[in-house]
Structure 1
Amino acid sequence: MRYLVLILIPYLSIFFETTFLGFYPVMGSIPDLVLLFVVFYAILNGSEKGAVYGFLCGLFKDLYLGRFIGLNAVSLALVALIVGRWEPKVYKENFMVGLIVAIAGTAANAILVFLFMVMARGDTGGAIVIFTGLPGQIIYNAILSIPLYVWYYRSSRKGILRLSNKR
């Protein structure tokens, strides 16, 4: 059941981003729920597992949205790899951890996507749009990160997302 939920999370996240949350932008931006769940997974499970989950979620996002295939896959994998390195060093029970990794992950993802777009397109014209929406996306992700992290943490420890050997 855990793996089914981990597969459904990016699908439902993109669905809510493109339908419901798209009607309520903050400073012209919508949240990146896939990014939030990837950094939560990475901070709770480590960098290696987080990078794999980030790559798979990013690839799904790339295929669903149909832009640069591989852009989100590589950027989410790298963000999860970076965030996952903090896993043994943080007190994961604190909801502020979710807030901090959401803000750091959002900023890191924007920087990586910007760099990859500059490398792919050769100019900064289209890629600069990423940074104009970044403050709104950071605010939106920060607001949503606290309740989502509390749910995700509790589910990964005692709920549907827990590992079967941790019962």
Structure 2
Amino acid sequence: MNSINACLVLSATLIVVFLQSTAVGFRNIVGAQPDLLPSLVVYATLTSGLGLGTVTALCGGLCFDALSHNPLGISIGPLFAVALVIERYRGLILRDQSYAQFITGVAAGAAAPALTLLLLLNTDRTPLVGWSSLWQWGMVALVSGVFTPAWFLLFGWLAGLLSYETMPDPATPSNRQIKRGRN
């Protein structure tokens, strides 16, 4: 799209990572910490392509890992894999339909934690995995699906506020010669 969209997405990525690490109200009520980075990666990849999706995955993954107990950089791979799959099937996804955005967000919200868990199991760290992890995984996927259409609405509204609308071409050409005089 344009640089305004990229700045908005990267700013939202940093804000989301900070809020995920500090706000615990939803986690205390539901019992699952929401992860909004997959939904942001979905939005960035569907609207601007693999470039912004990769930058969002890189910045968001590094910031998320720096503020969590994860090894640094382990979240980048799953988020990039989500961006890569969405870019591969970008032409088939109905990106203007809210139900397609929801389904894509649910799939990304389910795939990113599963791939992160797979990577964590291959390290020397021992993640806490139990039956409650299925509940948390489902809630993370559902929240990601709900927020994906919300990102489209929010960033569309912000882009409308911060950018100007292009003027259509006039019906008559403006390069006509004006004849002056009495002829």
Q: Under a length normalisation based on structure 2, what TM-score does the superposition of the two structures give?
A: 0.72
1:71 equivalent in alignment to 2:74: yes
Kindly state the Cα deviation for residue 5 of structure 1 after the two structures are TM-superposed: 2.4
Root mean square deviation, CA, Å? 2.8
Q: How does 1:111-130 map to 2 (within 5 A)?
A: 111-121=114-124, 126=127, 128=129, 130=133
| 1:14 paired residue number | 17
2:8–2:155 CA contact under 8 A, matched in 1: no
Distance (Å, rounded) in 2 between the aligned partners of 1:46 and 1:127: 35
Distance change in 2, residues 1:119/1:131 (3 Å): farther
Q: Indicate which of 150, 161, 172 corresponds to 1:147.
A: 150
Kindly state the Cα deviation for residue 143 of structure 1 after the two structures are TM-superposed: 2.9
| AA aligned opposite 2:26 | Y
Distance (Å, rounded) in 2 between the aligned partners of 1:49 and 1:141: 19
Q: Which has the higher helix share?
A: 1
Instruction: Deviation per CA, 1:43-93: give whole Å up to 9, x if none.
Output: 222335423431222112222335210111121111111122222222221
1:47–1:82 CA contact under 8 A, matched in 2: no
Q: Highest CA radius of gyration, 1 or 2?
A: 2
Q: How does 1:32-111 map to 2 (within 5 A)?
A: 32-65=35-68, 67-111=70-114
Distance (Å, rounded) in 1 between the aligned partners of 2:98 and 2:121: 35
How many residue pairs match? The answer is 160
1:75–1:109 CA contact under 8 A, matched in 2: yes
Distance change in 2, residues 1:53/1:17 (3 Å): closer
1:23 equivalent in alignment to 2:25: yes
